[in-house]
Every structure is written in C-alpha cells, then in structure tokens.
Structure 1
Amino acid sequence: MASLPVLGQVKEAKKQAKPMRIGVIGAGWLGGTVGQVWVRAGHEVLFSSRHPDELVSMTRQLGPRASVGTPRQAAEFGSVVLFAVPYAALPQLGRDLRTALRGKVALDACNPPPGRDDALAREALTHGVGPTSAKYLPGTRLVRAFSAVDATAVEASSARQSGLLAVPIAGDDTPAVQVAAQLVRDAGCEPLVVGNLAAAIRFQRGGPGFRANTTLPELRRLLGLPEKD
C-alpha cells in the first residue's frame, strides 16, 4: 500500500476536530488511506493487519500519532474501530475480539465479494449487510461507513476544498452515527445518513449508492432522498 502524499490543503475543520483514538483492522488500500487522512486530521490511529511489520514504513512517515499492532491491539486501543477486512473474516474477528470491542463504535467498511456463494454471503444478501455485520460483531455500536466508496476517491476528496466525496452511512445507534459522520468529515468527505442498518442495503453492492463516488447532491438524487432544508 502506497503512502498518501502530504496534504497541503488540510481543512480548518479537520485541524480543529477533537482527537480520537482509532483502531484500524485491515490497513490495506481503504483502511490505510482513511487512517492516514485521520492521522493528518489530528487523530491517533493504530493500524493493524495480518502482517503488521509491513505497515511500519508507512506509519513512520506519519509521525507519533500513528502506530502499528495486531487486530487485538487495535480493538483495545480505539474508542472507534474501523473494519476494512475481507467480509469472511468478520465472524472470527467478532469472536476473538468480543471483549475488547464491547460498547465501542465499529465502522464497518466490509463487503461480501461479488459472485460469492457461501453461507455468509447468502445471509448478507438475504438480510442485508448491515444487520449481518451487527450479528457477527456483537456488542458493538455498528455503523456502515466507507463501505460504498473507493479509497482513491477518499484520497482525492481529502485534498479538495469543494466537490467533496459523499459517504453514505447507516446505523441503529444515533450517537454512534454522529461519531461516524464527524469522522467522515475529518477524512475530507461529506456524510449522508441514509437511515438505520437495514437501510444500508441501498448502498451495499447492487444498490444505487454502491461505488457511486459522487457529490452529496448527486448521491441524494441516486438514493431518492430529499434535499436538506
């Protein structure tokens, strides 16, 4: 995973964001990109993956607010935890990290792969990815976030002042959704709250909001949501 360039156009709102401790589980292209932008916005981020040693060179460039560890260390470190792993990994992570994750805001950016016909993928297709993820990450305050956008679109938006990327989010816990919305803003994007976890079906794979990678007015139009007053 390549490191992001230094962002010269960091927005003032991001500089003033209240710092949070965030664990990133799955620091590949999406998790790594979003996490790097958060570090530059002033948050403390612990990046983790199956091969944490491979992340050291990237975090060294980010300074003291970035660190590397195991998924368990990321879950214990963050008051917010971003999941950006293959969807099939969620059930085991939920079992292994249940105690560490209890009560925490979990941002779920994971998607079942296209064409997959296993039991978990069928369950997510039948019941919706949001409710299915919540089932396998029990005890968390789960919000679907960053699941419908590309890392390259997030990276580009973080360096712009206008025409920002709209990121659809959905969750059942209102304060957790508010935390997610702020972190979307801190990543240089604009949040669009679509509804509860069941409503996240509208921006999962196959839905009109999936990989739209567009602005807030256009995403509202695609999802049939009214313009904000």
Structure 2
Amino acid sequence: MIAQIRSLFRPALLSDRAFGSPTDRRRRRVLIFTAIATAVLAALPRVVLGASDGFRIGIIGTGRIGGALAALWAKAGHELLISSRHPDDLKPLAARLGSNVRVGTPREAAAFGDVVLIAVPYGALPQVGRDYAGLMARKVVLETGNPRPERDGPMATPALNRGTGVASAEYLPGVRLVRAFTSVPYLALRSEAHRSGERVGVPLAADDRDALAVAARLVEDAGFEPVPVGGLARARDFDVGSPVFGRALTARELRQALGVAR
C-alpha cells in the first residue's frame, strides 16, 4: 500500500524541485502524501478497514439459519438489520436480541450491510440477485442456500451439476461471494456454538481473499472454526450429497475429509 501511494505522488515530488525553499518543499510533500493516502484508504472497502470492530450485517432471510446466526452475531457485538418477506414478524426476535438489531425489508438489508448474509431457499436466489445485486455490489456476501429439486424445481439440478459456488456467483454478479454455513445443520448452529474442546468446523469457499477473511472472522464470532477449502469451484466439495454435508464435524475431521491443510 505504501509503495502504491509513493508511486502516485512521485510526479508531484519531482515537479516541486524547481521552486520554493527546502522547508516549503518538505511541507508541500507532506500535504501531497497525506491527501493521496487519505484518498486511497477511503477507496478501500469499509469492511476490511473495520476488521477490528463490529460489522454492519444485513440478513436477507431470517429463518432457521439466518435467525440462528443473527443471535450469535448480535451477541458478538455486530450491528444487524434482519429481514424477511414479512418483517413485522421479526420484531419480537429483534427485541430479544438487543438494541443493535433492527428490522427491515430485504432491500433495506442489502443496502444496510457492509456484509450481507443471504439465507433463503435456493430457488429464490435468482430473484434476490435480480432485485438486490446492484445494492450489494463489491460487498462481502455470505450465501447459505442449497439447491433441492423437490423444493426449488428445475433450476436446482443444473446448479448442483455445476457446483453451487459457481452457480451462485452467476446469480449474484458483482458481489464478493463466499459460500458459508451451507453444510452444518441449523440445529447445530444453535447447540454447538462456542462449545468447549474442538469446535465444529464451517467450510468456506471464495475467490476473493479479503472476503474469505471477513467470513472466517464471522465464523469465529459465531462460535465455530472456519475451514477455508479454496475457490468457489471447490464449494461443490461440501454441497448437498457430499460426504460432509449435513454433519457437524470438528474442524480437524472436516479438513481431513476435504483434503485441505490447516
């Protein structure tokens, strides 16, 4: 980052050698460096810069998985906007979770979050993408859905055949996608969080390294151990029908089953 900033203001440094006293030139260089550094840092995603603080998380679909994670992340100190097709039904949950949780529409959740969790039936994902991908552009998006032909119809089979990570990326263009919380049963999200001893592992797949780091932090905040598997193409290794799907394995067991290093 420092090298990038220096390369930006080097032409200005060269041009100021023709005039002014040494003191004036030093002062001018400090001002140039400060201005460009501020501009570069401002352009970085807020979620990366704020990694030591709580995130603003919008949740689209606050059902079994979304509701369980909302409770865990609220307890960890993150600011949440939870949403569903019937937001008024979520007001009692928000009241239980505390003052850092509010209720809104899916559109408001997509706009609110530095990070967005999408926890909807997979058949609804194409519509979510059409409606909200623009609001989520360049944001870190954790997506949890699993295609099931008996529920989601004809679109589920080709998504499974291609691999859900690849399919989801097509439905959500422009976001920094992470497949996360897809294989651990929702009941385990409630019962196994922050357990003593070896923690349950949550496999993660993403093509964006910074997005993967954010997702890993949120897995830890929820009380589990992140297990990065690779890019989105490798998300198929923990899709429906894989040996690890639907099981609350420890991180060690999960790494062994998926053949990934610690």
Q: Please give the TM-score of this superposition, normalised by the length of structure 1.
A: 0.88
CA positional deviation for 1:167:
0.3
Q: Secondary structure at the match of 1:57?
A: helix
Aligned partner letter, 1:92: Q
| Alignment counterpart, residue 157 of structure 1, candidates 168, 176, 192 | 192
Structure number with greater CO (CA < 8 Å, separation at least 6) is 1
CA positional deviation for 1:163:
2.5
Q: Does 1:103 align with 2:138?
A: yes
What is aligned with 2:9?
Answer: none
What is aligned with 2:37?
Answer: none
Which structure 2 segments of 5+ residues have no match? 1-50
Q: Which is further off, 89-98 or 176-185?
A: 89-98
Compared CA separation, residues 146 and 117, structure 1 to 2 (3 A): closer
What is aligned with 1:187?
Answer: 222
Matches within 5 A, 1:38-53: 38-53=73-88
Q: Secondary structure at the match of 1:168?
A: strand
Distance 2:200 2:102 in 1: 27
Distance 1:114 1:136 in 2: 17
Q: Secondary structure at the match of 1:194?
A: strand
Distance 2:254 2:202 in 1: 9
Residue-by-residue CA offset, 1:169-228 (whole Å, 9 max, x unaligned): 0010010001000000000000000010000100000112211211111111221234x3
What is aligned with 2:115?
Answer: 80
CA positional deviation for 1:154:
1.6
Q: Secondary structure at the match of 1:202?
A: helix
Q: Please give the TM-score of this superposition, normalised by the length of structure 2.
A: 0.77
* 8 A Cα contact 1:168 1:209, kept in partner: no
Cα RMSD over matched residues? 1.6
Aligned partner letter, 2:237: R
Residue-by-residue CA offset, 1:13-43 (whole Å, 9 max, x unaligned): xxx9620000111100110001110000000
Distance 2:152 2:222 in 1: 34
Q: Which is further off, 111-120 or 141-150?
A: 111-120
Aligned partner letter, 1:170: A
CA positional deviation for 1:152:
1.7
What is aligned with 2:203?
Answer: 168
* 8 A Cα contact 2:122 2:152, kept in partner: no
What is aligned with 1:217?
Answer: 252
Matches within 5 A, 1:60-139: 60-113=95-148, 115=150, 118-139=153-174
Q: Which is further off, 213-222 or 37-46?
A: 213-222
Q: Does 1:202 align with 2:249?
A: no
Q: Does 1:37 align with 2:72?
A: yes
* 8 A Cα contact 1:154 1:165, kept in partner: no
Aligned partner letter, 1:30: I
* 8 A Cα contact 1:17 1:42, kept in partner: no
Moved over 6 A (4+): none
Q: Does 1:21 align with 2:27?
A: no
Compared CA separation, residues 117 and 104, structure 1 to 2 (3 A): closer
Q: Which is further off, 116-125 or 61-70?
A: 116-125
CA positional deviation for 1:165:
1.2
Aligned partner letter, 2:247: A
Distance 1:162 1:47 in 2: 31
* 8 A Cα contact 1:212 1:219, kept in partner: no
Residue-by-residue CA offset, 1:79-101 (whole Å, 9 max, x unaligned): 11111101011111111112211
CA positional deviation for 1:114:
5.0
